[in-house]
Amino acid sequence: MQIETPRLILRWLRANDLEDFLEYRSDPTVMRYQSMSPMTREEAVSFIRSQSGNSLDRIGGYQQLGVELKNEGKLIGDCALKRTTAQPRIAELGYTINRRFQGMGYATEAVGALAGLLFSKLDVHKVVALVDVRNPASFRVLEKLNFTREAHLRKSYFDDVDGDWFDEYWYGLLKEEWG
C-alpha cells in the first residue's frame, strides 16, 4: 500500500524507520497536544512492531501511516487512521510532523491525500478529527482542507503534561464536500 502525492509517500511504518520515527516521537514539543507521551527508543521499537498487521481495510484501533519525504526517502511524520465497527464509513484521522519539517504544507498534503483515498476507494462517508483548542497549527491544517468545526467539546481530554482536562474541537469533512 502506498499513496503518492507531489512531495510525499504515505506507507506503513517499517523497522528501519526507527531513527527517523524517534526523531519526532521523542520530541516533547511535537507530542505536546497529543494524548501520548514522548517515546523512548524501546517504546518506539515496540510501537513500530505493533503496526505490522496494518491494512486500510482493517476496522478497529488506530493504525499509523508513515509520511515519507519522496526526495530524501526520510520519514518525517505519520498519520493515524481509525475506523470502528460501530460505523466503519466514518474515519478518524490524526497527524504528526517532525518539528524540522513543519510549516511547509506537509501535514496538509498528507491528510488531504489520505482523506481523498478514503472517500474515493474505501467508501468512507465522513472523515473526522479531534484537536486540542490550544493547537491552532493543527486546526489550521483541517480548515485549509475544508473541514468544518462541528463541535466544541468541553474538558473532554486529559493532558498528562498539564495534569488537567482540556477542551477539544471536533472537525468533520463529508465526502460531498471533498475535492
Residues that bind ligand COA (CB under 6 A): 30, 33-34, 94-97, 102-108, 131, 135-138, 140-141
> What is the three-class DSSP state of 91?
strand
Nearer to ligand COA, 52 or 136 (CB): 136
Residue nearest to ligand COA (CB): 107
Q: How far is the CB of 121 from ligand COA (least distance, A)?
A: 23
Nearer to ligand COA, 52 or 148 (CB): 148
Nearer to ligand COA, 108 or 156 (CB): 108
Q: How far is the CB of 139 from ligand COA (least distance, A)?
A: 8
Q: Which amino acid is at 8?
A: L
- Asked if 100 contacts 27 with a C-beta cutoff of 8 angstroms, the reply is no
Q: How far is the CB of 123 from ligand COA (least distance, A)?
A: 24
Helices (H) and strands (E) in the chain, counts: 4, 8
Closest CA to 171 of 114, 90, 104: 90
Q: How far is the CB of 49 from ligand COA (least distance, A)?
A: 22
Q: How far is the CB of 127 from ligand COA (least distance, A)?
A: 13
d(CA 171, CA 107): 16
DSSP codes joined into one string, 6-18: SSEEEEE--GGGH
Nearer to ligand COA, 60 or 103 (CB): 103
Q: How far is the CB of 97 from ligand COA (least distance, A)?
A: 4
Nearer to ligand COA, 29 or 52 (CB): 29
Cell 497536544 belongs to 33
Nearer to ligand COA, 12 or 33 (CB): 33
d(CA 111, CA 67): 10
DSSP codes joined into one string, 37-76: PPPPHHHHHHHHHHTTT--TT--SS-EEEEEEETTTTEEE
